[in-house]
Structure 1
Amino acid sequence: MNSGINLKDFKIPLGKLAPVEKFRTRQGDTLSYRSYPAWSEDLVILYHGAGSDSRYMCALAAAIAGQGIASVITPDFRCHGVSLGNSDKISKNQLEIDLEELLIHIKMQKAVSRITLAGHSMGGGFALRIAVSDLRKQFSKFIALAPHLPLHLNANQPNFGGWISVDSDGSFTVNYPEVMRTGHEKLHYSAEYLRAVHAADDLVEKLQELKPSLTVVTGALDEVVVAEKQREIFAQTSANVLIVENLNHLTIVSKVDNYLNIFA
């Protein structure tokens, strides 16, 4: 199946790509991330989406740090980056544990004042998951870029724009174009992994109750999620919603000048 995502305008500025760094969790696992430093005690933790890893967040991370808004950490989710290929049949709270471990690791290395948790696509859904969890108290605000939302909210394009195939057992397969593959991709996600990374089914109700500081940004040309449906859903909450003209599902994280101020 061919992806419905328009890739021709998406570029990773390799000259700005930070090297991979590793850390070991108290569970004994090795995970990875990239670091984009700035002269600021503010920190943005910025998660990637499905199929790839932290490398494609490079343009956004480098822009935030380059303008001195905040230092940026782009983690690789478990089973991505250095742990690519590990079994992804994980417990439902494993990724929250991994985030806590990352926070401990970072705070041992540098002074941190305010922390923003952000993510794109699957990573945006994870940021929303954390925004209504007990772990939300660690963060000053949340930013979700074209976030994956619970399926019952009907906020996705038909067949996810051809990008994802949902399997009968609740797992899904990423239809990553052959021409774009480098061997670093994760192309299949177990149902267990998806339960651990996706936002809760009662997300809207929890956002209404807890009212975290949240901004949702989606490109008007997004091929995977429906931008106006996201606006409609989040209008029921206290979240700020920004629909950016002329951007799609991937250029939302590569052509970033029009919305960088939300990270300040």
Structure 2
Amino acid sequence: MTIIALALLVVLATIALALVFGGPRRPAPMPSISAPFARVDFSDLPEQSTFRAEDGQALAYRQYRKCTHTGNGSVLLIHGSSARSASMHPLAKAMAAAGFAVYALDMRGHGASGTRGHIDRIGRLESDLEAFMREVCPPRPSTLVGFSAGAGFALRVAGSSHQKLFDRYLLLAPFIGDQAPTQRPRNGGWAEVGVPRIVAILLLNAFGFRFANAMTVIRFALSDEDGALLTPQYDFNLASNFRPARDYISTIRRARQPCAVMAGIDDEVFRSEQIEGIVREAGQNWPVTLLPNVGHMELTLEPSAIATVVRQLHDQW
């Protein structure tokens, strides 16, 4: 019994040390992510509206085409990690000009939706998505378009029991998984992950303890100025929910709705040349389009890349 007690103390001490000292370091700012937004004209950014989530929380979104019916249907845009709905503004404007009813969410834990960097449970984001579709009722056919981590979350939805919330999916420069061949070390410098802290929290969760889930496990490469506007860090719940399921191959395999993937060949965050192999390994024949001379953020900001994305919406389905 003494040996067992000592072993238990060692395990508990190791978990405690990992929780306290195993968090993520703060990465140096990554100019290729934030600098391109200095050229964006936000003067015509739509005002925010809100919808009521399942738990009563008011969550923010922007609407770009104020009509009840449109022949092209609707697009719901999901921003990337640390971002907010305004980051999708150039892409949203182009999609609206092409005849789509366009909506851009501040995902809970970002922008004006809830406490930045925090959600109360894993699965909350899917519940929020259901609430949005139920309350706002975007016209059909509906397309969920996600960018980067937002594309990872869109993939999570596409391969889940919630997949029929949308008629089709478009994944832009998707985060596919920590262990996927697309992954660069430290996401190319964009994110620092506190792996020891995550392992400790996973162990606690396995025994039903959730008290550490609000601890920070990811920090993003934002300057102080950008961090004041965006979301510089995620707790365990948000980091676990705003991403694809960890078994990404099974997630892709389970998707039944039409889906397409687009990325830039010069993406500095993910190895985009690996995407098609992953999709084919999972047995899907999804179109995978790689744009030459396009980096990560350029996919949603550069006019030529945006035009290609909009054509994908029109031509693919």
1:57 aligns with 2:57: no
* Structure 2 match to 1:205: 250
* Structure 2 match to 1:261: 311
Give the CA deviation at 1:36: 0.6
* Structure 2 match to 1:106: 136
1:174 aligns with 2:220: yes
Give the CA deviation at 1:177: 3.0
Match 1:88 to one of 105, 118, 133? 118
CA contact (8 A) 2:57 2:114 kept: no
CA contact (8 A) 2:219 2:234 kept: yes
2:311 maps to a residue whose letter is N
CA distance in 2, matches of 1:234, 1:88: 31
CA distance in 2, matches of 1:13, 1:125: 27
CA contact (8 A) 1:51 1:187 kept: yes
* Bigger mean CA offset, 47-56 vs 20-29: 20-29
> Could you tell me the percent identity over the aligned residues?
25
Q: How does 1:1-264 map to 2 (within 5 A)?
A: 1-3=28-30, 5=32, 7-10=34-37, 11-37=39-65, 40-41=70-71, 42-68=73-99, 70-85=100-115, 88-107=118-137, 112-168=139-195, 169-170=197-198, 171-178=217-224, 181=226, 183-236=228-281, 237-255=284-302, 256-264=306-314
CA contact (8 A) 1:18 1:34 kept: yes
CA contact (8 A) 2:59 2:112 kept: yes
1:83 maps to a residue whose letter is S
CA distance in 2, matches of 1:225, 1:15: 31
Given the two structures, how large is their TM-score scaled by the length of structure 1?
0.91
CA distance in 1, matches of 2:287, 2:231: 32
CA distance in 2, matches of 1:47, 1:253: 12
The number of residue pairs the alignment matches comes to 259
CA contact (8 A) 1:31 1:81 kept: no
Give the CA deviation at 1:51: 1.3
Alignment partner of 1:159: what SS?
A: helix
Alignment partner of 1:134: what SS?
A: coil
CA distance in 2, matches of 1:45, 1:234: 23
Q: What per-residue deviation string (whole Å, max 9, x for no partner) do you get for residues 225-258 of structure 1?
A: 1110122212322221110112111110012112
Compared CA separation, residues 4 and 149, structure 1 to 2 (3 A)? farther
Alignment partner of 2:229: what SS?
A: coil
CA contact (8 A) 1:38 1:65 kept: no
Given the two structures, how large is their TM-score scaled by the length of structure 2?
0.76
Give the CA deviation at 1:81: 2.0
- Where does the alignment leave 5 or more consecutive residues of structure 2 unmatched? 1-27, 199-216
- Where does the alignment leave 5 or more consecutive residues of structure 1 unmatched? none
CA contact (8 A) 2:117 2:233 kept: no
CA RMSD of aligned residues (A): 2.0
Give the CA deviation at 1:6: 5.6
Alignment partner of 2:179: what SS?
A: helix
Give the CA deviation at 1:21: 1.1
Larger Rg: 2
CA distance in 2, matches of 1:9, 1:34: 21
Compared CA separation, residues 157 and 4, structure 1 to 2 (3 A)? farther
1:152 maps to a residue whose letter is Q
* Bigger mean CA offset, 119-128 vs 231-240: 231-240
CA contact (8 A) 2:117 2:232 kept: no
Compared CA separation, residues 82 and 6, structure 1 to 2 (3 A)? closer
Give the CA deviation at 1:9: 4.3
CA contact (8 A) 1:218 1:242 kept: yes
1:260 maps to a residue whose letter is V
* Bigger mean CA offset, 156-165 vs 95-104: 156-165
